[in-house]
Amino acid sequence: MKTIYLITMWSGGRPAKKWKSEVKPKPLPQGTGVSFVSVGTKLPVSVIGSISVEEFESGKEEFETGLAAAYAENTPPPKPQSTNIEPLF
């Protein structure tokens, strides 16, 4: 499992834009925002204004998809479905 940071920019009391980062955001020198590297674009981002930073543990989805893949590998091939069509010759 790994830590994911969700950075949200707020406008008028509502979330305006959200980013994910794998590295903890650093406060800007002015103290009015943060800078981080976006997971989606792999580019550095600086956000100034009303923001919030939330920390989450990632891995549940990866764990579940890993289990789903393991189960998929162990499943037998599907049986052919019987049809009402019989060959004439």
Q: Is residue 77 part of a domain?
A: no
Q: What is the pLDDT of residue 48?
A: 94
Q: What is the pLDDT of residue 37?
A: 96
Region 16-41: what's the mean pLDDT?
93
Q: Is residue 76 part of a domain?
A: no
Q: Is residue 10 part of a domain?
A: yes
Q: Is the pLDDT of residue 86 over 90?
A: no
User: Domain tally for the chain?
Assistant: 1
* Contact (CB, 8 A) for 48 and 28: yes
Q: Is residue 57 part of a domain?
A: yes
Q: Please tell me the distance from the alpha carbon of residue 52 to that of residue 57, in angstroms, as a whole number.
A: 17
Region 67-81: what's the mean pLDDT?
55
Region 12-18: what's the mean pLDDT?
92
Q: Is residue 23 part of a domain?
A: yes
Q: Is residue 31 part of a domain?
A: yes
Both structure tokens of 11: 């406008």
Region 8-34: what's the mean pLDDT?
93
Q: Is residue 70 part of a domain?
A: no
Q: Where in the sequence is the domain holding 39, given as residue range(s)?
A: 2-64
